[in-house]
Amino acid sequence: MSELQAIRGMEDILPPVSAIWQHVEATIRGLLLDYGYQEVRVPVVERTELFKRSIGEVTDIVEKEMYTFEDRNGMSITLRPEATAGIVRACMEHGLLRNQRQKFFSTGPMFRYEKPQKGRYRQFHQFDVEALGYAGPDIDAELLILLARLWRLLGIRHVSLQINTLGTAESRQMYRADLATYFRNSFGQLDEDSRRRLDRNPLRILDSKNPDLQALIAGAPQLTQYLDGASEAHFNELRALLDDAGVAYAVNPRLVRGLDYYGRTVFEWVTDRLGSQGAVCAGGRYDGLVSHLGGESTPAIGFAIGLERLVELYSLAGVPAPHRTPDVYVVAVGDGATRLAFRVAEALRDGTPAFRVETNCGGGGFKAQMKRADRSGAVVAVILGEDEVASGTAVVKPLRAEVEQQKVAVAELATAIRPHLQGLPGWPPLA
């Protein structure tokens, strides 16, 4: 059987957990649409070159996490490890950035060859948001305000916001040099990854998760002291906007992205409830990326929410996902009744208001079908038997209240069912 098991690090999402996913995804989608963001869907594979150029060669993702293949034509393609690259590629390809601003979102699976553990998978899912063509700190603030609302909507309390500014690429150059000198002076303490990064990208060392390096990293020079005036003003304005909006944050000077075209605002929402996989959402400005990929210089900022971690956090909060149950379960005993059942069910679904109807499939006697009706969560059962077929009637049996069942003409079913739903969610009182 082992060859019929899922690939390591790639999870099946099954009921009832899939209901939580639907709720979380629908909440995010609704919120983003309300804020004026539009959906884009881009392919799950892109040319390998795109990721190398947009994520950067000296990163964990490109160095060791990508699923890269040759297609049958010998072209190197990669399963997307993140969404920004593909979205930016699509924007450039379709001319969406010429004198325009875009507020986009996208969602779907991402692939990284990591060591699988709780909160860290090889196929995982992100909700990704990108705002392109916006230079000012207002959009930075909006993204964070929107996220704060999202956590509230989902009833998630244990996340906190960390922000930092990386300044501009120019202002980082001196910092980079000083940082490299600092780490070179402690070369003996560095691990292999960090040594390799020392020359090419010393900022990435600050990202290291190696516990043995944390003390050394804590003593490193801080970027804040190297900041240019314009970036400082941008950051101060962002902070003022967040303060005004009542969004709490902590400035974490260690929060970095080691890529040249990332700059200014970076942020992360973290939780202490998920063990060591505590980052739920991460993002930042990448004003240099579009021009780095050969397009016209376009300021941009975005973030990605890790859905596995968010769903886990949602589950820990103990709020059950809204459970969708039918209003009506149609029980049909006998051939004539089975044939009539679909017509009755479809008519109930056509009505205004429309009922949510589950029809018994798979046969079964009266008792077995009533058991299924009960388990479905339906409020009433509509029972069709040979007698009813002959007389053009149906029995309406309330399943959640001690109320007598009632025999009515098929044409009167909707009127007979309606009072039993009164006061339930989605069913206003009858006039």
Between 37 and 262, CB nearer to ligand ATP = 262
Q: Which residues bind ligand ATP (CB under 6 A)?
A: 82, 112, 114, 119-121, 124, 126, 277, 279-282, 304, 306, 308-309
Residue recorded with tokens 């996220």? 147
Cα atoms found within 13 Å of the Cα of residue 190, Cβ hemisphere only: 21
Q: Report the alpha-carbon distance of residue 85 to residue 75 in Å, rounded.
A: 18
For the bound state, the minimum distance from the C-beta of residue 119 to ligand ATP, rounded and expressed in Å, comes to 6
Element (H, E) at 275: none
User: Which CA distances in Å does 28 have to 13, 35, 290, 377, 430?
Assistant: 18, 11, 26, 27, 33
Element (H, E) at 312: helix 307-316
Q: Report the alpha-carbon distance of residue 113 to residue 118 in Å, rounded.
A: 15
For the bound state, the minimum distance from the C-beta of residue 253 to ligand ATP, rounded and expressed in Å, comes to 17
Between 113 and 182, CB nearer to ligand ATP = 113
For the bound state, the minimum distance from the C-beta of residue 79 to ligand ATP, rounded and expressed in Å, comes to 13
Between 121 and 314, CB nearer to ligand ATP = 121
For the bound state, the minimum distance from the C-beta of residue 202 to ligand ATP, rounded and expressed in Å, comes to 18
Between 259 and 396, CB nearer to ligand ATP = 259
Peptide bond into 353 cis (omega under 30): yes
For the bound state, the minimum distance from the C-beta of residue 394 to ligand ATP, rounded and expressed in Å, comes to 50
Between 54 and 369, CB nearer to ligand ATP = 54
Q: Report the alpha-carbon distance of residue 186 to residue 175 in Å, rounded.
A: 17
* Residue whose beta carbon is closest to ligand ATP: 306
Between 103 and 309, CB nearer to ligand ATP = 309
For the bound state, the minimum distance from the C-beta of residue 64 to ligand ATP, rounded and expressed in Å, comes to 12
Between 216 and 279, CB nearer to ligand ATP = 279
For the bound state, the minimum distance from the C-beta of residue 269 to ligand ATP, rounded and expressed in Å, comes to 8
Nearest to 87 by CA among 32, 125, 41, 33: 41
Contact 50, 82 (CB under 8 A): no
Tokens standing for residue 270: 């973290």
Contact 76, 69 (CB under 8 A): yes
